[in-house]
Amino acid sequence: MLATTPRGLRRLRSFGFTASAAVVVALGAVAPALTPAAASPTTDDCVADVVSTVCLPSGEAVSIDTSAADIPGVDEIRSSPNMRLVTNRPKLGPAATATNSDIAFQGKYAFAGNYNGFTIYDISNPRSPAEVSLVSCPGSQNDVSVYGNLLFLSTDSPRSDDSCASTATSATIKESWEGMKIFDISDKSNPQYIKSIETNCGSHTHTLVPGNRGNVYIYVSSYAPDATFPDCQPPHDLISIIKVPVRNPTAAALISTPVLFPDGGNPTGNYSRVTSGCHDLTAYPVKKLMAGACMGDGILIDIADPEQPRVISRVRDTVNFAFWHSATFNQLGTKVVFTDELGGGTQAQCTEAAGPTRGGNGIYDIVGRGDSRQLVFKSYYKIPRINAATENCVAHNGSIVPVILGDLMVQAWYQGGVSVFDFTDSSRPREIAWWERGPISDTALVTGGAWSAYWYNGYIYSNDITKGLDVLEVTDWRVFTAKINRIPELNTQTQPSYWGW
């Protein structure tokens, strides 16, 4: 409230929420509603190669400074002085040999997905998390979210059937299954699988949107159609919406598959991927908004009617965004941080060759009102540390740090570690805390690192692909108000209103 007024903005500056960063681009791009605009520099603005140089409006070039590059040794931990590892919980049970994925939270529990199922942790003592249950239910991705006594699990690989005893098969087989699974978690020590819903192209990620009359909606994101896949046919410019009656979840059903890109979306031919579905959607229910990261397009969606979402703004970046991966609103719902998962999360994109903008974040302001709202590009943010060529590193999953004043975000960067940055000034984001492990190997590129890093009730929880659950703490005056904030549940793709804003 204070931050929405000019006086409030002056107060934010007095608290030190603005600073410059070397790895920033200020390439403004205003997109009329539903008309994509590329956040591309003009020839006069660009100096040298955009792969290794930041192109600023003034025509100045700022390259990554590698003079002080000091890559830690294998598994060596390094951090800023204000961030530390509280504890690590190695993977157990079905997760031991699987890729860890996303996390959701409820009360004193964390629900961590992995490609073999999910693990429920008791985090009532963040310094000593304890496994409550280890659930085996194989399927790639296995992103999780929770709502009351229900847990939702995304399956994005063809399986022989919808059971938790299924085996991998081919998407070319009509009888193969992929989509959403629902579990009853009223007994955290013994979750029960109660329902499945098949969706087109499976479920890579999903987003919960609370409805009325005791319903919750699941927006399913999926992509990569193929003419040889009976259940995943091109053009697939759609999402799937599942309606779940909370008191009767076994009646959950697919109710619609709205097309978000009637014109086909980004046809590529440039740097970005073809748009054929969405990778991730983030809802901000109190604002009745949703932001979509859809391969070659970034979109803003009105969800006032959760059964009929409407795209109201769309942007593209054909110079620096290869794959629109995820989106995060600030608390006021006036900005969106989009991420670019250049290389799909398996490549080394935090090297000098990758440069300071590609494979990072794009920060956009939301301007205008109603259906005239537009996404306006303000800057890029990427971690300012050089990583080894053996470390997969790119922008990945993160969340808002719920401070009262200003905009802070914590984010996972695979083997680039965990970064906390301030984007109160959309044009000048800067890192304020960081933590990382050294490479898994110094001789070969081995996929690993932090898949997701989220702030929940005073701590940062990071699901490391190979190392297990990390609990981190930031000791910095700028996060003090976030530490006193408490919420009962967190699904990061369904942003809560932390302070009633």
Contact present, 401 and 479 (Cβ < 8 Å): yes
The DSSP element (H or E) to which 113 belongs, if any, is strand 109-114
Contact present, 440 and 415 (Cβ < 8 Å): yes
d(C-alpha 226, C-alpha 217), whole Å: 27
* pLDDT of the residue at 288: 97
d(C-alpha 183, C-alpha 188), whole Å: 11
CA distances from 278 to 40, 283, 473 (A): 22, 14, 33
**Least confident piece of the model among 31-45, 227-241, 437-451:** 31-45
What percent of the chain is modeled with pLDDT above 90? Answer: 84
Residues 134-148 have pLDDT tens digits of: 999 999 999 999 999
What's the pLDDT band for 48 if we cut at 50, 70, 90? very low
Contact present, 330 and 386 (Cβ < 8 Å): no
d(C-alpha 403, C-alpha 118), whole Å: 30
Tell me the fold of 11-228+252-490: Methylamine Dehydrogenase; Chain H (2.130.10)
Mean pLDDT across 240-249: 98
Q: What are phi and psi of 286, to 5 degrees?
A: -65, -25
* pLDDT of the residue at 500: 82
Mean pLDDT across 215-227: 97
CA distances from 201 to 117, 218, 290, 374 (A): 20, 15, 21, 30
d(C-alpha 473, C-alpha 476), whole Å: 9
* pLDDT of the residue at 59: 35
What's the pLDDT band for 110 if we cut at 50, 70, 90? very high
Q: Is the pLDDT of residue 66 over 90?
A: no
Apex CA 386: angle with CA 381 and CA 389, to 5°?
A: 120
Q: Is the pLDDT of residue 184 over 80?
A: yes
d(C-alpha 236, C-alpha 501), whole Å: 36
Residue with the two structure tokens 């006069």:
44
What's the pLDDT band for 229 if we cut at 50, 70, 90? very high
* pLDDT of the residue at 1: 38
* pLDDT of the residue at 11: 29
Residues 370-391 have pLDDT tens digits of: 999 999 999 999 999 999 999 9
3-state secondary structure of 20: coil
Domain residue spans in the chain?
Answer: 11-228+252-490
Tell me 428's DSSP state: S
Which residue, among 227, 212, 295, has the nearest Cα to 36 in the 3D structure? Answer: 295
Apex CA 359: angle with CA 318 and CA 334, to 5°?
A: 75
According to DSSP, the residues that pair with 335 across neighbouring strands are 365
Per-position b or e across 114-137, b if 16+ CB within 10 A of its CB? bbbbbbbbbbeebeebebbbbbeb
* pLDDT of the residue at 414: 98
Mean pLDDT across 106-133: 98
d(C-alpha 264, C-alpha 275), whole Å: 7
Whether the ω angle into residue 36 lies within 30 degrees of 0, i.e. cis, is no
How many CB atoms sit inside 10 A of residue 190's CB? 11
What's the pLDDT band for 436 if we cut at 50, 70, 90? very high
Contact present, 300 and 291 (Cβ < 8 Å): yes
Mean pLDDT across 401-410: 97
d(C-alpha 193, C-alpha 163), whole Å: 9
The DSSP element (H or E) to which 13 belongs, if any, is helix 6-14
Mean pLDDT across 417-444: 97
d(C-alpha 48, C-alpha 44), whole Å: 11
Phi-psi region of 286 (alpha: psi -120 to 50; beta: other; left: phi over 0): alpha
Residues 288-336 have pLDDT tens digits of: 999 999 999 999 999 999 999 999 999 999 999 999 999 999 999 999 9
Residues 408-422 have pLDDT tens digits of: 999 999 999 999 999
* pLDDT of the residue at 45: 32
Which residue, among 425, 453, 343, has the nearest Cα to 387 in the 3D structure? Answer: 343
Q: Is the pLDDT of residue 131 over 70?
A: yes
d(C-alpha 29, C-alpha 37), whole Å: 7
* pLDDT of the residue at 36: 54
**Least confident piece of the model among 52-66, 101-115, 174-188, 416-430:** 52-66
Which residue, among 386, 393, 418, has the nearest Cα to 65 in the 3D structure? Answer: 386
Mean pLDDT for the chain overall? 88
